[in-house]
Structure 1
Amino acid sequence: MSEKYYRVKTAAKLIDPNFSARTLYSWIAKVEKRTTYHFLRKSILRNGIPVVQILLKEEDIQLLKKLYSLRNKEKKDLTAAIFATFLSPEELDERLTMERNIF
């Protein structure tokens, strides 16, 4: 059985029915900017024009659900929620140690 992939618009509704695709696109960009995590991009033809589309796997959606929960239910800062979700415990500890040592 092959792995399923979801468009951002579909994934946003799987995360929460009221979650907008635009916000999810923004979060994806911030995750990729602040961590080493990358989402799959695929070039497709739309009306003969190549368009890059982000495709999310089930594991991506589970991580984004966790991020959504930390951000919207626990009211964590978005960057802190991204770090807690997408960094390994070692990377998170290293990042926090570095930030504590900045004066």
Structure 2
Amino acid sequence: MGEVLYRVSSAAGEISPDFAVRRLYEWINKVEYYTKGAYLFRRIERETLFVTRNQIVLTKEDILRFRQVYRLCKEKNIQLRLAILQCFAPEQYKELQEKEDSLI
């Protein structure tokens, strides 16, 4: 048995009951942008009646990371960009923190 994959629509509810699907799509795009492609989500081809399109699927690990981003933003009031880097690209986050510390 392989890895369990979640559609974005079902993953949004796993993050938080009030988390919107559209918001998750926005966050997925931001993760790929802020990490400069270092973190890419899996896409599978899905055939419908006349169209073949890519569908983003998430792993349980992805969902846990998004849940952590959500908590950091909501509870600790951390900027979304910093929360994404902290959870999805910790080495980039460390470099950013070091640069900011050297400026002060």
TM range (shorter): 0.7 to 0.9
Partner of 1:19: 19
Shift of 1:73: 2.0
Note the residue ranges of structure 1 that are not aligned, 5 or more in a row: none
The superposition leaves residues 30-71 of structure 1 with CA deviations (integer Å, 9 ceiling, x where unpaired) of 000011111101111111201111000111111111011111
Query: Percent sequence identity over matched residues?
Result: 37
Partner of 1:97: 98
Partner of 1:38: 40
Q: Are 2:82 and 2:93, in contact at CA under 8 Å, matched by a contact in 1?
A: no
C-alpha spacing 1:94/1:50, structure 2 compared with 1 (3 Å): same
Show the 5 A alignment for 1:1-103: 1-35=1-35, 36-88=38-90, 90-99=91-100
Shift of 1:3: 1.0
TM-score (norm 2): 0.87
The superposition leaves residues 16-42 of structure 1 with CA deviations (integer Å, 9 ceiling, x where unpaired) of 111000000000000000111111011
Quick one: distance in 2 between partners of 1:93 and 1:61?
Answer: 22
Note the residue ranges of structure 2 that are not aligned, 5 or more in a row: none
TM-score (norm 1): 0.88
Structure 1 segments, 4+ long, off by >4 Å, are: 99-102
